[in-house]
Amino acid sequence: MVIKSNYKKVSILEKPKGVFVIFNDFDHYEDFSGFLNFLRQKLGINFSEPTRYPYSLASEFLIDGENVIAMFHDDLGCCARVDPGNQQLANHIVCDCYGGQ
């Protein structure tokens, strides 16, 4: 299920494993380090060392005490995954990265 976003640079996808904020400007494996730098600059956060999986890379961080996973996945590109149903945190990430409405 894709949730509409008022931002052209992101898509939000709700799945059983979480809400995914997909950053459309970072859609390749090679973009992951730049994606982490973008999030670090916009959100003022630190990350765990990225973990490599067969089809993805992942790095964890905290926002407002909640665990978020920055990841690259072959099917999605670079995205931030929050807990299932946590649309509010997903919106918080988008607003912090691209400004409020």
Q: State residue 99's pLDDT score.
A: 82
Average pLDDT over residues 69-95: 94
d(CA 54, CA 59): 15
The CATH code of the domain that includes 47 is: 3.30.160
Q: State residue 100's pLDDT score.
A: 64
- Could you report the per-residue pLDDT of 85-95, keeping only the tens digit for each? 999 999 999 99
Tally of domains in the chain: 1
Q: State residue 70's pLDDT score.
A: 97
> Which residue type occupies 76?
L
Give the domain extent around 10. Answer: 2-98
Q: State residue 89's pLDDT score.
A: 95
Is the C-alpha dihedral spanning 46, 92, 77, 84 positive or negative? positive
- Could you report the per-residue pLDDT of 25-55, keeping only the tens digit for each? 999 999 999 999 999 999 999 998 999 988 8
Mean predicted lDDT score pLDDT of the chain: 90
Pairing assessment for the beta strands 18-23 and 51-53 based on DSSP bridges: unpaired
